[in-house]
Structure 1
Amino acid sequence: MKRVLPLVLLLACSAPAFGQAVDRQGAKQLSDDLAHYIGKKPFDIGFVKVSVEGDAYKIAFDFKPVTDLLAKQQSFKLDSTPYFVLAKPRKDGQWDVSVDVSPKGSVDFVGPEGPQHIDFSISNNKFTGIYDPDLAAFVNASGSTSGVTMSVKSPLQNVEASADGGAGSLSATKSANGGIDFAYSQTMTGFAETVRLDDPKSGLKFSYNVKSPHAAVDATGKGMRTKPLLDLLAFAVANEDEAKLKANQAEFKSRLLAALPLWERIDGTYSFKDFVVETQLGNFGATQLSTAVGMDGILQNGQIAYAIKATGLTLPQQMLPSWSVALLPTDIDLNFGGANIDLDSMAKKTIETLDFSKDPPLPADFGDQISADFLAKTPKAILGHSTIKNGNIEIAMEGEMTFPGKKPRADVTIDITGYDKIVETLQTAAKTDPQAAQYFTGALAIKGFGKTLPDGRLEWVINTKADGSVMVNGAMLKAADPVGTDDSGEEATP
């Protein structure tokens, strides 16, 4: 039943429409097509039903049969307004899909912490789109809501979340190298969340509020293998029985290979304006805050990248010594990720070795094998050009790390503008604060290793080798580990 999701049902409208007449026979055909991807059981128990609604098909969801089924297995209760999707066949073989239902309801179940209760509502929930069976994707779609609320209550915490409204859009085209290229965007206004934690056993009692008047999500994808993924889903439904899966494992492997690399590239960004986190320790905030991630699919030379950016950053000052406030960052731009990531060889070797007739399906030492193969391709951890700023002080850094022989080798460069300002602040504070005095001594020692650049910046080029040696600006800071020692520096056992 986990597969029975409205999104899957929409994507599973894969039978070409060709302007067919909307009638009871067509409704049965659509039911059969959907069952190909989600199984017949949802239809047999009455969870999903396809009927004729004017010039469209109505795909309706009755949650009561699912609730009754889950209630027999565990304490579970779901009350929800009826939900349905309208799908109308077009003359060009595509489908007009629409939703105009505002879900509202509650969920009760027993979790690890005890009874859980969830209330939810989505006001004026609307969606329209054109679905292309050949692409197994919406070529365009848009949706909106005028308000969202959710409340979660449990023995240890209560959560209240809401948004004033939101809108989103999606488009997709056929990719040159197979699959689809897509673009997705969504905005949300008036986002607010309150979390209250109260754990009598640990004595932890804490609450915080998160607010942002505007939030957005933007994502793009290239070469998403939607059709092979749907085919893989259909195979899973048709081979749920263990005996069938064993008998048809060659086809399973073939379908897995056809779905690779899943996608060529996906990039996404979450962004917030005037983001605030109110806590008992003080407030965290940023006038602009964003997090981004980009990742290649299962390729031989894949890359992954993360970025965190904040401007107008504010941090709680109540718990900090007064002298440190002048050194708190106001802007950050952090970039990190990886390169030379060979997931293709790992995936294909796993698929080739997989054998469901054996227990376990993979050899006991298989994890060690592919781990060694992965490291042999020299994957690289990368620190992209990153900065931390405060007034006239700027810390910039970049570098990379590899793991030859399972031991790290790194090359990192750190530049600081306004280092004298840092030293001056610590020197003044050291007169009254012993902790600042310790930092001042350390700052002077670090400065001694720095190299002054023509523009006045101080620079540290740090090189560490797999033999354990560390050099800063060409000067040996730590010698190589003695031959015959392990990673801890202790003498290895012969």
Structure 2
Amino acid sequence: MRHVLTTATSAIILALTTGASAADISQGGANAIRDNLNHLLPKDIAKSAPVTVTPAGSRYEIVYDFAKLLAKIKKEDFNIKGLAPFKMFAKPQDNGLWDLEGNNNLNVTGHFTGPDKKRSDFTYSVADMVFNSVFDPAISYFRSGDFSARDLKFTSSTDTEVVNISFGDMIYKLASAESATAGRLDFVTNGKFSTFAEQVSSEEMPPIQISADSLDFDAKVNGIAAKDLKEMVLFVLDHADQKHLTKESETKLKDMLGNAFPLLSSLEETIRLNNFAVTSAIGGGGAKSFGYHIKVDGPSNATRIGVAMDAADVTLDSVLVPADYTAFLPQALDIQFGVPGMDFAALGDEFMKMDFTKSTGDSEKAGQQAAEKLFPGGILKVDFPKVSAKSSVYDVEVSGELEGRVDTQTDYKLNASIVARDYDKTITAVQELAKTNPDMTQASFGLMMIKGFAKADPDGAQRWDVAIASDGSVSVNGQQIKGPDAPATDEAVSSDEAVPSDETAPSDDTKP
């Protein structure tokens, strides 16, 4: 819903680019905004003038008639009832920015026929959609804003499935500031959805209900080239129908790309579900909290994209899980991994060499070649600073790095550290389980054998430092337990090019 609100108000992107001040409100100004807004629409729809603008004191009143906007859609494929005009107010500031505000609601019903010729009925309602924001025509986006919605509900039904989704409230805030890099901006957003609930029922499975007390989100992006991005978007829209560009247009596009690069200096977003739960006829489960985090940072020639997920107080109650195995279900999870060393600078340089005046096929091939420049030497690295799972009978954590070539799945190397706390408790739990399940006897012996390779940390935890070299050899805590793989036979190698050279093989200095 946060994107629905911002997208709806962003529809005035091109209409507010003319200079104005609070003292300039006039019918002429209203007509200019109206004409610009209608000009953005397809010609057959624009003829019905679905957007009206009128002076309202020190601001303009802008009204969107959604019924007119959808009038050209085939009635047999799509129908909607209850659409009320969407109203907002725009007030120019003396500095070129605009104050935007609105208070609307939504309560519609309808149906549509999909490509599979099946009919879907829907209802969509929002009790209130309120926003107060500052819009910057120079970047065609908001510099700040407060957005909120109340009592959001959505229902979709077909002959075989019914989906109901609801939120109690939504709050979304946006702020921006000048970046440390001249001509660029930093944005910060945060918000919350409260009382989320979703019910799904169909002929193929029993009803499922998903719920959460709240969903929190925070995000920030630094050093974004907002003005240049706007120009690029407008350029793409203007040339969307062209199969390839003229030389003049290509030069203009590359100039914009050069000015915009790098598009941003860092990005970070966190989403967290609180008191998340899933229930169904075969059982249920959930977590006190479930979080997702993504971060992009580092210089353009050595960028890292990192992802993290965690869950606390995890529960699962299902007839599919025998009671004896319940203790082995994780009660807490923490998964962190990333892709470091991505060379977006080289990607950008290669992209600038592309010839956009040629056919689409040539451009796609050149684009693929440019993407390969992301990984220096064709080497892909994946680091995992922490992957951990805990239950009442185990506490294990893994960290390390995997390195391999992007063009093969066989040439790789791995360095990882595995740490197990209360390892004897884990062995005892498996031995107890083996008394009633003989199949677990082998697992019990395996755990004891693995313990023989471990070394003790100062806190008493068991540690295994595992190294898999590119030649296939494996060592644990410095002790080799498997030698190098046998060299490939002549029959298995189609050409000398199939064998990685020393220059392109993964480096030997990889560390966890």
TM-score normalised to structure 1 length: 0.88
Deviations 1:425-484 (A, max 9, x none): 111111120232232133223223222223211111111122222222122233222222
- 2:192 is the counterpart of 1:187: yes
Q: Find the residue that maps to 2:424 and give its secondary structure.
A: helix
Correspondence 1:8-407 to 2 at 5 A? 8-12=10-14, 13-31=16-34, 43-71=46-74, 75-79=77-81, 80-113=83-116, 114-134=118-138, 136-177=140-181, 178-198=183-203, 204-242=204-242, 245-246=245-246, 248-296=249-297, 299-362=300-363, 364=365, 367=368, 370-371=371-372, 374-376=375-377, 378-391=379-392, 393-404=394-405, 406=408, 407=411
Q: Find the residue that maps to 2:73 and give its secondary structure.
A: helix
Tell me if the contact between 2:324 and 2:433 (Cα under 8 Å) persists in the aligned partners.
yes
Task: Give the 3 Å change call, closer, same or farther, for CA 266–47 of structure 1 in structure 2.
Answer: farther
Tell me if the contact between 1:392 and 1:417 (Cα under 8 Å) persists in the aligned partners.
no
Structure-2 separation of matches of 1:125 and 1:397? 46
Task: Give the 3 Å change call, closer, same or farther, for CA 352–14 of structure 1 in structure 2.
Answer: farther
Tell me if the contact between 1:263 and 1:296 (Cα under 8 Å) persists in the aligned partners.
no
Deviations 1:131-187 (A, max 9, x none): 233454433211222210001113443210111112221111121213211111111
Offset of residue 7 of structure 1: 4.4
Tell me if the contact between 2:244 and 2:359 (Cα under 8 Å) persists in the aligned partners.
no
**Number of residue equivalences:** 482
Task: Give the 3 Å change call, closer, same or farther, for CA 430–102 of structure 1 in structure 2.
Answer: same
Structure-1 separation of matches of 2:374 and 2:166? 47
Structure-1 separation of matches of 2:80 and 2:72? 11
Tell me if the contact between 1:37 and 1:233 (Cα under 8 Å) persists in the aligned partners.
no
Give the letter aligned to residue 321 of structure 2: L
Task: Give the 3 Å change call, closer, same or farther, for CA 327–5 of structure 1 in structure 2.
Answer: closer
What is the percentage of aligned positions where both structures have the same residue? 24
Offset of residue 44 of structure 1: 4.1
User: Which segment drifts farther, 263-272 or 352-361?
Assistant: 352-361
Structure-2 separation of matches of 1:228 and 1:121? 37
Task: Give the 3 Å change call, closer, same or farther, for CA 473–225 of structure 1 in structure 2.
Answer: same
User: Which segment drifts farther, 261-270 or 59-68?
Assistant: 59-68
Tell me if the contact between 2:347 and 2:373 (Cα under 8 Å) persists in the aligned partners.
no
Structure-2 separation of matches of 1:192 and 1:254? 48
Task: Give the 3 Å change call, closer, same or farther, for CA 187–437 of structure 1 in structure 2.
Answer: same
Task: Give the 3 Å change call, closer, same or farther, for CA 38–183 of structure 1 in structure 2.
Answer: farther
Task: Give the 3 Å change call, closer, same or farther, for CA 408–84 of structure 1 in structure 2.
Answer: farther
Q: Find the residue that maps to 2:102 and give its secondary structure.
A: strand
- Correspondent of 2:430 among 426, 430, 435: 426
- Correspondent of 2:418 among 414, 418, 436: 414
Structure-1 separation of matches of 2:42 and 2:25? 23
* Structure 1 residues not aligned, in runs of 5+: 199-203
Structure-2 separation of matches of 1:384 and 1:151? 42
Deviations 1:296-320 (A, max 9, x none): 4993211111111111111234322
Structure-1 separation of matches of 2:332 and 2:143? 39
Task: Give the 3 Å change call, closer, same or farther, for CA 361–436 of structure 1 in structure 2.
Answer: same
Offset of residue 344 of structure 1: 3.2
Offset of residue 351 of structure 1: 3.9
Q: Find the residue that maps to 1:430 and give its secondary structure.
A: helix
Structure-2 separation of matches of 1:245 and 1:31? 31
Structure-1 separation of matches of 2:229 and 2:45? 21
Offset of residue 189 of structure 1: 1.6
Deviations 1:47-104 (A, max 9, x none): 43433333322332222344233328x8223332221221111233221101111122
- Correspondent of 1:439 among 440, 443, 457: 443
Structure-2 separation of matches of 1:77 and 1:461? 63
Task: Give the 3 Å change call, closer, same or farther, for CA 39–297 of structure 1 in structure 2.
Answer: farther
Give the letter aligned to residue 180 of structure 1: L
Q: Find the residue that maps to 2:25 and give its secondary structure.
A: coil
Task: Give the 3 Å change call, closer, same or farther, for CA 107–172 of structure 1 in structure 2.
Answer: farther
Structure-2 separation of matches of 1:311 and 1:359? 48
Task: Give the 3 Å change call, closer, same or farther, for CA 32–46 of structure 1 in structure 2.
Answer: closer
Tell me if the contact between 1:217 and 1:271 (Cα under 8 Å) persists in the aligned partners.
yes
Tell me if the contact between 1:222 and 1:266 (Cα under 8 Å) persists in the aligned partners.
yes
Task: Give the 3 Å change call, closer, same or farther, for CA 348–70 of structure 1 in structure 2.
Answer: farther
Task: Give the 3 Å change call, closer, same or farther, for CA 392–70 of structure 1 in structure 2.
Answer: same
* Structure 2 residues not aligned, in runs of 5+: 1-5, 496-512
Tell me if the contact between 1:305 and 1:335 (Cα under 8 Å) persists in the aligned partners.
yes
Structure-2 separation of matches of 1:384 and 1:473? 19
Task: Give the 3 Å change call, closer, same or farther, for CA 14–469 of structure 1 in structure 2.
Answer: farther
Offset of residue 45 of structure 1: 4.7
Give the letter aligned to residue 477 of structure 1: I
Q: Find the residue that maps to 1:350 and give its secondary structure.
A: helix
Offset of residue 355 of structure 1: 2.1
Q: Find the residue that maps to 2:401 and give its secondary structure.
A: strand
Give the letter aligned to residue 188 of structure 2: A
Structure-2 separation of matches of 1:315 and 1:88? 54
Structure-2 separation of matches of 1:174 and 1:15? 23
Q: Find the residue that maps to 1:466 and give its secondary structure.
A: coil
Structure-2 separation of matches of 1:473 and 1:277? 42
CA RMSD, 1 decimal:
2.9
Structure-2 separation of matches of 1:278 and 1:207? 9
Give the letter aligned to residue 242 of structure 2: E
Q: Find the residue that maps to 2:435 and give its secondary structure.
A: coil
Q: Find the residue that maps to 2:444 and give its secondary structure.
A: helix
Structure-2 separation of matches of 1:85 and 1:403? 54
